[in-house]
Amino acid sequence: MPAEHTPLPDFAFARALLPEPSWQGHPQIIACYWKAWEIAFGNLRQPAPGSPLIANFIDTAFNDSTFMWDSAFMTMFGRYGIRAFNFQRTLDNFYALQHRDGYISREIRIADGSEKFDRFDPSSTGPNMMPWAEWEYFQQTGDKDRLGRVFPTLVAYTRWFRKHRTWPDGTYWSSGLGCGMDNQPRLPEGCSVQFDHGHMAWIDTTLQAIFTDKLLLLMAVALGRVDDVKEAAEEADHLTNLVNKEMWNNRVGFYCDRFRDGNLSDTKSIGGYWALLANIVPEERIDPLLAHLSDPKGFKTPHRVATLSADHPNFSTTGNYWCGSVWPPTNYMVLRGLTRLGADGMAHEIACNHLANVVEVFQNTGTLFENYAPKWATPGDPARRDFVGWTGLSPIAIFFEYVLGLRPEAAQRQLVWDVRLLEEHGVKGYPFGSSALLDLKCAKRDSPSEEPVIEASSNEPLALLIKWAGGQKILQIKG
């Protein structure tokens, strides 16, 4: 990737280049949306002189480092601000520091590009989120050139992960820090929740491997390079069969970690919902799996979605980090999984609940937080404030995609608008593809089944697939 030395835009400059949403009667949500962008642009950084980092980037705003999985999730809302700043290039700093064998560190010091962990430390890398981040970017922009450039890097890293993070049967292992959910009570007694792998087959990491394999196959098809990733199809099939046979816990109706002795944990972690994105759930298990999302003793806390089931003895009503707190990245994962399943109604319900709680905390504090309490509309305990950070997902990506209902399919030149709100709403300057800008407005309706009255314009032709409770139609925008 070429090095970048361009000046950083500030929020005052960027605001005119950002999409401008509207939702009648909800000014507080719009204010939270703009606050997220303001914090995000305040966190932009340039590589230090002499640093091996090659691109301007958004800082995780956590410590003195940039983090792999935080950065991947930040690009997922950052793609909506591409006219003002190319957030996707944040990942180029990780690609530039890839080792010859494919390894990439999950935490890199900003000052000099040095790595926080030795590569064979159980916490040295992961989760493997970068293929998902690049595929989302491709869906938004249709940028096949970038997809072709990053594809070999993603394949090499995935192969390293497969070689060094699997047990003999092919299942994957990680650690609390390596999986990103630092202190979840998942490991056997005597193990460090942060640093040990516990000789477990980790359900989230194994499901992520299946999801990643399938993403690489989609990329390979788009690029005409299917022969380069034949092993991905083989692994995805093998792990799908293995997970469904050996990591589904019938006692609790959930996908769970497997211990060294072959027994399954009863802990229900939000990590089990990677099964939806991996698209491995048999028909007869869909209802039991989704039921936990609607169960107050499961994941349906007053602020959804808790990251640890509420019936777990370690569940904390104030969150205690990953012992119940609501985290924007895992919420986004659940929502994306529900989309894959076609459970759009549940996704909209969860998204509206989550956004309402985030906005209530914003109204009370004036800012955004790293995570949130599951029981009340308060920050998590502990939680960093002014965190954007992946919390930009909530008032930007989740707002656009699951509250307003706009989901791009740039490669097909189609934008899906899943209309569920009754009040007048829309967006001006919505970015689509490499250079299209759309102005969209839906008029007020009296009921969900009433056909939406849509006003749409674009500087380029595309198809607008409009869905509502009463039907769907395609509107061809001529440009």
Q: What is the pLDDT of residue 116?
A: 94
Q: Would 449 be classed as within a structural domain?
A: yes
- pLDDT score of 410: 81
pLDDT along the chain (479 residues), means of 10: 77 98 98 98 95 96 94 98 97 98 97 94 97 96 96 98 98 98 96 96 98 98 96 98 98 98 98 98 98 98 98 98 98 98 97 98 98 98 96 98 95 94 98 95 98 97 96 94
Q: Is residue 153 part of a domain?
A: no
Residue 53 near residue 113, CB atoms below 8 Å:
yes
Q: Is 90 helix (H, G, I), strand (E, B) or coil?
A: helix
Residue 133 lies in a domain: no
- Regarding whether 96 and 27 lie in a shared domain, the answer is yes
Domain boundary among 347, 370, 394: 394
Tell me, what's the pLDDT at 237? 98
Give the pLDDT score at 1. 55
269: β partners: 308
Place of tokens 């007694």: 189
- Indicate if 352 and 364 belong to the same structural domain: yes
Same domain, 104 and 31: yes
Asked whether residue 159 is assigned to any structural domain, the reply reads no
**Stated pTM of the model:** 0.97
Tally of domains in the chain: 4
| Residue 242 and residue 297 in one domain | no
Distance CA 286, CA 308 (A): 19
Distance of alpha carbon 23 from alpha carbon 18, whole angstroms:
16
Looking at 394, 424, 444, which one is the last position of a domain? 394
Tell me, what's the pLDDT at 212?
98
In a domain, 227, yes or no: yes
Same domain for 117 and 172? no
What pLDDT score was predicted for residue 6? 86
In a domain, 333, yes or no: yes
Domain match, 170 and 251 both:
yes
Query: CB of 357 within 8 A of CB of 326?
Result: yes
In a domain, 292, yes or no: yes
- Residues recorded for the chain: 479
- Kindly state whether residues 310 and 429 are assigned to the same domain: no
* Residue 295 placed within a domain: yes
How many helices, marked H, and strands, marked E, lie in the chain? 13, 14
Query: Do 169 and 261 reside in the same domain of the chain?
Result: yes
pLDDT score of 416? 97
Together in a domain, 174 and 265: yes
Which of 74, 98, 125 terminates a domain? The answer is 125
pLDDT at 479: 79
- Quick one: 3 and 97 in the same domain? yes
* Residue-range definition of the domain harbouring residue 254: 165-281
Same domain, 172 and 268: yes
Distances (CA, A) of 454 to 178, 396, 400, 444: 45, 22, 16, 10
Q: Which of 211-236 are b and which e, b meaning 16 or more Cβ less than 10 Å from the residue's Cβ?
A: bbbbbbbbbbebeeeeeebeebeebb
**pLDDT at res. 3:** 61
Q: Are residues 369 and 440 in the same domain?
A: no
